[in-house]
């Protein structure tokens, strides 16, 4: 088994990488925005001044590369594999002839379960690795006296470098000495006493929050949330394998045949464990959203649209779809070709969470509501689970440039210039600083600036629609505001409001030509006034099609619900279908 | 031989460390430095005013002189870092005099910029300021804390951080006569309440009563220490579509009350709680016999936000009977001035009333036109603090215990992130040019993503009670205060 050490771990690494890349690629892109690692002395010094700061620094350093395709899976697989390698070293110290690969895969397997959760702080794995390394180092010290001296130094050092995981180290060290049971082995209790004193001092002085965050795995989870129980799993796994190794220590090397049987059994158990644990802990519900979010960040609107065919399962996904359609200029013309479920699918109500702030900032930016986009970007920035958010710092650069707040924009540019993934972009924005002409000439910033409402009012005092309608009248060449208003009325089935809008704007610069869904709504809402259809902008094609639809509905009035599927095939892409059946 | 080598080595090191003035062409232009410490007045107990030259150059030297003393500095790491001990010594020797600062810059050849002076005032400053660090944002928050900074060595330490209290909001820290052992602040949300600290005693107070429109909000201690004036406010926030005043915060209703810390009772009177007025920002006179406050006619909000203008009024207060007088004096009339006042604060010697003036409203931190004004309470003379103001926001302010300094919030650096500035007031009420709280690293403010909020002078360091405060916050039910009106 020793001879297959390297190939074994190579296989583990490749399998981990493949699994993570296939199932979690978008998860890594998503969590990349929860860090703001900066190549700056003051930033590094600030982190190193905290207990656990080295772990945080390393975690942030690694996560910054997750903007690169494959990097998240490559790095995470490497960390998990390394955890297993170190666990093997620990196991071998206790049971040198052990070939129980299942045991040393337990810690990385437990860690893997944590990595599915966006609220798990990445540096938790880094901290765990540091603790494992310290333990391995400790276990390689032959002299008890040297070990006692070492543990006195290692406990505070580990706490300084990695934080709460020092509790795991201390527990493992006590366990190890209990196993060895040398004379005066109880002296090892100095380690937990030392840690307890450290934690006590930190809590009393306010440097640590509570015992929970000072010495428990909760330190590596979003502090405002209740940490899940399986956060303990990697720590318990390490202690468990030490215990098992201790009981296996006298086991002699087995025959080749026995080895094959043992390995097969372990493999089966491993597969069963994966089969049970992965579906239990993998956050499949959010995978779709993470993918949509990635495509939004990278402006891949067609991909979002192609993902949105068929039944939609949640409002957030519908929001992403409608935002993609809006970016492509197809909102009002195409939205009812997809599964719409009401106005919450157009603009989800803000619930003060990061996920929704993230989405709304993108949506408001799309429709040119820059003040709202800025607000949501700021809210997303301050509510991120980690230590900063470069994505929304970028957005804040843009909104401040649009508003001409150049000094603030420069502040954010300076910070982004110190990052790995955003420095080039940040540098490219410098040309806009204190340069109204450059901003005005820019395709994106200039357009958004020109469409700012003037004079300014307080935002959304009487709701979204009045603000959008004001902008639409000031800038009729911009179609999105009126499409947003109109489609919101359609989704709400607010006939009165839609009619008022159409009566006012149809045939004007605001709505010279009605988009498809508006035309469909006209013929539906003015069903009893067909002489007004063309006057209000409905085309012959829509009128003729409505005629067919109406005949189908009237002929099958008694069994409409059962014919919904059939009717959908012919008219599922129309507003009429939405109005009748949703 | 060995001795000679050591001496030579030491000489070489000393030669490397010593700075000599270059042969430079004199310029009639002042250097552009950050922070701008040109022609400011400073106390003798301020930390070194490290600064950097912002004009393009390849090398730079600065000379600070006063009397026979001279400090020569070579630019290192892009800034001039003044050694603390030399600086402290120079200031002690220069009280009442002016330091002369000459900056030399090399850009090809050397030029010597026109020297500027820094006056060292006779009066020291209180050694600490306390402030809240917050994101200058909208509704949500993450890390909030109340901190203190020793202005003599710019060391910052926490007074309380919300990571210890379930990440709630905390605000409105206030000290009784700049006393670090007698203070209060609010927590909002989880573990909400007002926390009153008096020596070793910490009380958690539930301050919403059935007679008041909200829990207690903006505080101001009575000099005697028994009473605290508060406003109660129904506050709302909105934001502009396209205005340099990004956010608008306004009251839909507000009143003034006085809280008795011994009886746990809150008093008020119709004279400070009129239904047709919004009263807020109360503050006591230094003798405790008058209560100043801001008042504006009540109007529907948010529609009327831009028309709302606050006057500064005062009414007598009898601490023995906790009653108010019936005559209201108006010191600043919003209707006559056509502008709005906020944050009235009387100097501890009773001579001056310092306040903020903006075009409308009371949450002046978001108003670019907000400036500091003073009223000489003896002569009634009203004047803007032109030397201290900027073309951006000047807002919350706090007096030093000796009435010769005040600290205030300003957004002059970038228009969004509030920073603390200090200004000197001489015996005639003249106010000097303001200077920024110095930092060891002059780029500190560039990267700091928090605003300094409600800077307050304190006469000493607040003791570390974070753990005890957190315990009380989480475990104590709190004392319910009652209204006595």
Q: Do residues A490 and A387 make contact, with C-beta atoms less than 8 angstroms apart?
A: no
- Contact predicate B374/B385, CB 8 Å: yes
Nearest to B414 among A369, A411, A458 (CB): A411
Which residues of chain A are within 8 Å of residue B163 when distances are taken between CB atoms?
A: 209, 223
Q: What is the pLDDT of residue A1?
A: 43
Distance of alpha carbon A248 from alpha carbon A245, whole angstroms? 5
User: What are the tokens at B162?
Assistant: 């919300």
By the CB < 8 Å criterion, does A284 face chain B?
A: no
B384: Cβ contacts below 8 Å, ≥ 6 apart: B357, B371, B372, B373
Distances in Å between the Cα of A477 and the Cα atoms of A488, B73, B407 are 20, 60, 50
- Which of A36, A205, A209, A399 is the best residue to mutate to test the B interface, defined by the most B CB atoms within 10 Å of its own CB? A209
Instruction: Tell me if A454 and B244 make a contact (CB, 8 A cut-off).
Output: no
Give me the residues of chain B with pLDDT under 50, please: none
Give A369's contacts in chain B (Cβ within 8 Å). 241
Question: Chain B neighbours among A 431-470 (CB < 8 Å)?
Answer: 452-454, 456-461, 467
Contact A378 B158 (CB under 8 A): no
The pLDDT tens digits of the residues spanning B353-374 come to: 999 999 999 999 999 999 999 9
Q: Which two tokens stand for residue A417?
A: 């210039």
Contact B229, B256 (CB under 8 A): yes
Nearest of A120, A42, A136 to residue A86 by alpha carbon: A136
Nearest to B467 among A204, A379, A467 (CB): A204
Residue A467 near residue A457, CB atoms below 8 Å:
yes
Residues of chain A with pLDDT below 50 are 1
Contact with chain A for residue B240, Cβ under 8 A = yes
Out of B242, B415, B444, the one facing A408 most closely (by C-beta) is B415
Residue that is written with structure tokens 């010594």 in the block: B89
Tell which residue, B362, B454, B396, B400, has the closest CA to residue B132. B454
A206 to B467: CB separation less than 8 angstroms, yes or no = yes
Indicate yes or no: CB of A461 within 8 angstroms of CB of B240.
no
CA distance, residue A371 to nearest chain B CA (Å): 5
Residues 171-210 of chain A with CB under 8 A from chain B are: 203-206, 209-210
The answer to whether A389 faces chain B, any CB pair under 8 Å, is no
User: Chain B residues with CB inside 8 Å of A458's CB?
Assistant: 238-241, 248, 302, 305
Strand-pair partners of B229: B220, B258
- Smallest CA–CA distance, residue A459 to chain B, in Å, is 5
Enter the tokens of residue B188.
Answer: 């909002």
Q: Tell whether A383 lies on the interface with B, counting CB pairs under 8 A.
A: yes
Please name which of B119, B14, B24, B108 lies closest in space to residue B62, comparing C-alpha atoms.
B24
> Is the Cβ pair A461, B244 closer than 8 Å?
no
Contact B360, B370 (CB under 8 A): no
Q: A150 Cβ partners below 8 Å, 6+ apart?
A: A137, A138, A141
Q: Which residues of chain A does B239 touch, with a Cβ-Cβ cutoff of 8 Å?
A: 371, 375, 458-459
Alpha carbons B66 and B82: distance in angstroms, whole number: 15
With CB atoms and an 8 Å threshold, state whether B241 touches A405: no
Q: Is A457 in contact with B467 (Cβ distance < 8 A)?
A: no
How far off is chain A from B61, nearest CA to CA, in Å? Answer: 24
Facing residue for A461 by CB, picked from B161, B238, B466: B238
**Cβ-defined contact of A42 to B443 (cutoff 8 Å):** yes
Is A379 close to B138, i.e. CB distance below 8 A? yes
Nearest by CB: B447 against A403, A415, A460: A415
B135 touches chain A (CB under 8 A): yes
- With beta carbons under 8 A apart, name residues in chain B contacting A210: 164, 470
B190 at interface of A, judged by CB pairs closer than 8 A: no
Any chain B CB within 8 A of the CB of A352?
yes
Which pTM value belongs to this model?
0.93
Which of B:27-66 have CB within 8 Å of A?
none
Please answer yes or no on whether B415 and A205 come within 8 Å at the CB atom: no
- B485: contact with A, CB 8 A cutoff: no
Q: Residue B420 has which token pair? A: 């603390």
Q: How far apart are CA A474 and CA B422, in angstroms?
A: 45
List strands edge to edge, sheet with B227-239. B216-221, B227-239, B247-260, B265-267, B482-483
């Amino acid at each position: 088994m020793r001879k297959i050490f390297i190939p074994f771990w190579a296989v583990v690494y490749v399998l981990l990488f493949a699994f993570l890349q296939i199932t979690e690629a978008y998860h890594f892109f998503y969590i990349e925005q929860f860090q703001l690692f900066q190549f700056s002395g003051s930033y590094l010094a600030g982190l190193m001044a905290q207990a656990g700061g080295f772990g945080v620094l390393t975690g942030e350093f690694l996560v910054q590369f997750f903007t690169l395709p494959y990097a998240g899976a490559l790095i995470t697989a490497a960390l998990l594999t390394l955890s297993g390698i170190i666990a093997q070293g620990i196991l071998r110290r206790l049971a040198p002839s052990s070939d129980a690969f299942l045991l040393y895969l337990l810690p990385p397997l437990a860690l893997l379960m944590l990595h599915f959760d966006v609220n798990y702080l990445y540096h938790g794995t880094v901290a765990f690795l540091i603790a494992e390394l310290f333990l391995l180092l400790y276990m390689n010290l032959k002299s008890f006296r040297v070990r006692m001296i070492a543990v006195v130094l290692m406990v505070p050092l580990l706490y300084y470098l990695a934080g709460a995981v020092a509790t795991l180290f201390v527990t493992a060290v006590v366990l190890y000495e209990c196993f060895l049971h040398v004379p005066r082995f109880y002296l090892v209790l100095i380690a937990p006493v030392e840690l307890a004193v450290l934690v006590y001092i930190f809590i009393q002085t306010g440097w640590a929050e509570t015992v929970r965050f000072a010495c428990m795995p909760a330190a590596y989870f979003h502090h405002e949330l209740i940490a899940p129980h399986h956060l303990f799993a990697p720590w318990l796994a390490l202690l468990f394998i030490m215990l098992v190794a201790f009981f296996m220590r006298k086991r002699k090397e087995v025959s080749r045949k026995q080895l094959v049987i043992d390995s097969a059994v372990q493999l089966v158990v491993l597969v069963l464990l994966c089969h049970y644990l992965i579906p239990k802990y993998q956050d499949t519900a959010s995978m779709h959203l993470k993918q949509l979010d990635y495509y939004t960040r990278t402006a891949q609107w067609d991909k979002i649209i192609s993902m949105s065919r068929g039944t939609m399962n949640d409002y957030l996904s519908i929001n992403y779809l409608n935002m993609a359609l809006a970016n492509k200029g197809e909102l009002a013309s195409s939205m009812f070709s997809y599964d719409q479920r009401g106005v919450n699918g157009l603009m989800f109500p803000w619930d003060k969470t990061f996920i929704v702030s993230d989405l709304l900032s993108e949506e408001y930016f799309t429709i040119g509501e820059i003040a709202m986009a800025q607000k949501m970007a700021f809210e997303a920035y301050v509510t991120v689970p980690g230590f900063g958010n470069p994505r929304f710092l970028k957005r804040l650069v843009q909104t401040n440039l649009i508003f001409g707040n150049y000094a603030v924009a420069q502040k954010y540019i300076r910070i982004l210039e110190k990052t790995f993934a955003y420095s080039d972009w940040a540098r490219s924005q410098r040309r806009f600083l204190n340069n109204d002409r450059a901003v005005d000439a820019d395709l994106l910033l200039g357009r958004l600036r020109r469409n700012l409402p003037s004079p300014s009012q307080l935002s959304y005092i009487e709701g979204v629609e009045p603000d959008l309608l004001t902008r639409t009248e000031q800038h009729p060449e911009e179609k999105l505001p009126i499409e947003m208003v109109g489609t919101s009325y359609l989704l709400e089935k607010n006939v009165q409001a839609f009619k008022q809008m159409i009566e006012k704007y149809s045939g004007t610069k605001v709505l010279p030509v009605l988009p498809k869904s508006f035309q469909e709504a006209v013929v539906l809402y003015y069903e009893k006034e067909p002489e007004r259809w063309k006057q209000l902008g409905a085309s012959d094609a829509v009128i003729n099609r409505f005629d067919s639809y109406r005949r189908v509905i009237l002929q099958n009035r008694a069994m409409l619900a059962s014919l919904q599927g059939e009717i959908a095939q012919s008219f599922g892409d129309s507003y009429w279908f939405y109005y009748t059946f949703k | 031989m060995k001795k000679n080598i050591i001496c030579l080595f030491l000489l070489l090191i000393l030669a490397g460390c010593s700075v000599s003035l270059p042969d430079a062409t004199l310029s009639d232009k002042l250097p552009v430095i950050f922070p701008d410490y040109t022609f400011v007045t400073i106390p003798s107990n301020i930390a070194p005013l490290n600064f950097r030259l912002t004009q393009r150059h390849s090398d730079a030297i600065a000379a600070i002189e006063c009397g026979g003393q001279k400090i020569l500095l070579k630019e290192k790491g892009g800034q001039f870092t003044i050694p603390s001990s030399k600086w402290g010594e120079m200031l002690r020797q220069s009280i009442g005099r002016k330091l002369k600062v000459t900056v030399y810059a090399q850009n090809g050849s050397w030029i010597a910029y026109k020297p500027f002076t820094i006056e060292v005032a006779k009066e020291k400053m209180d050694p600490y300021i306390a402030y809240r660090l917050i994101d200058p944002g909208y509704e949500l928050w993450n890390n909030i804390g109340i901190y203190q900074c020793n202005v003599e060595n710019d060391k910052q330490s926490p007074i309380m951080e919300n990571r210890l209290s379930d990440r709630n909001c905390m605000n409105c820290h206030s000290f009784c006569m700049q006393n670090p052992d007698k203070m209060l602040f609010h927590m909002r949300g989880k573990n909400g309440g007002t926390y009153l600290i008096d020596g070793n005693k910490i009380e958690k107070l539930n301050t919403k009563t059935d007679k008041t429109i909200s829990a207690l909000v903006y505080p101001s201690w009575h000099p005697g220490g028994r009473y605290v004036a508060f406003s109660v406010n129904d506050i709302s926030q909105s934001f502009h579509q396209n205005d340099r005043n990004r956010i608008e915060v306004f009251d839909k209703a507000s009143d003034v009350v006085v809280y008795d810390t011994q009886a746990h009772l809150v008093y008020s009177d119709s004279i400070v709680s009129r239904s047709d007025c919004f009263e807020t920002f109360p503050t006591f006179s230094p003798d405790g016999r008058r209560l100043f406050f801001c008042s504006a006619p009540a109007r529907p909000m948010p529609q009327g936000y831009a028309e709302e203008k606050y006057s500064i009024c005062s009414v007598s207060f009898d601490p023995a009977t906790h009653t108010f007088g019936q005559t209201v004096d108006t010191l600043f009339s919003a209707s006559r001035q056509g502008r709005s006042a906020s944050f009235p604060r009387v100097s501890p010697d009773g001579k001056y009333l310092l306040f903020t003036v903006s075009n409308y409203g009371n949450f002046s931190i978001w108003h670019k036109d907000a400036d500091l004004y003073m009223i000489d309470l003896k002569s009634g003379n009203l004047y803007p603090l032109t030397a201290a103001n900027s073309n951006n926001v000047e807002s919350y302010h706090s007096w030093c215990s000796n009435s010769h300094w005040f600290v205030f919030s300003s957004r002059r650096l970038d228009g969004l992130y509030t920073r603390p500035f200090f200004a000197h007031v001489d015996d005639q009420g003249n106010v000097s040019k303001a200077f920024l709280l110095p930092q060891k690293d002059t780029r500190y403010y560039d990267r700091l993503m928090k605003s300094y909020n409600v800077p307050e002078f304190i006469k000493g360091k607040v003791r570390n009670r974070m753990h005890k405060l957190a315990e009380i916050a989480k475990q104590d039910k709190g004392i319910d205060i009652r209204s006595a009106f």
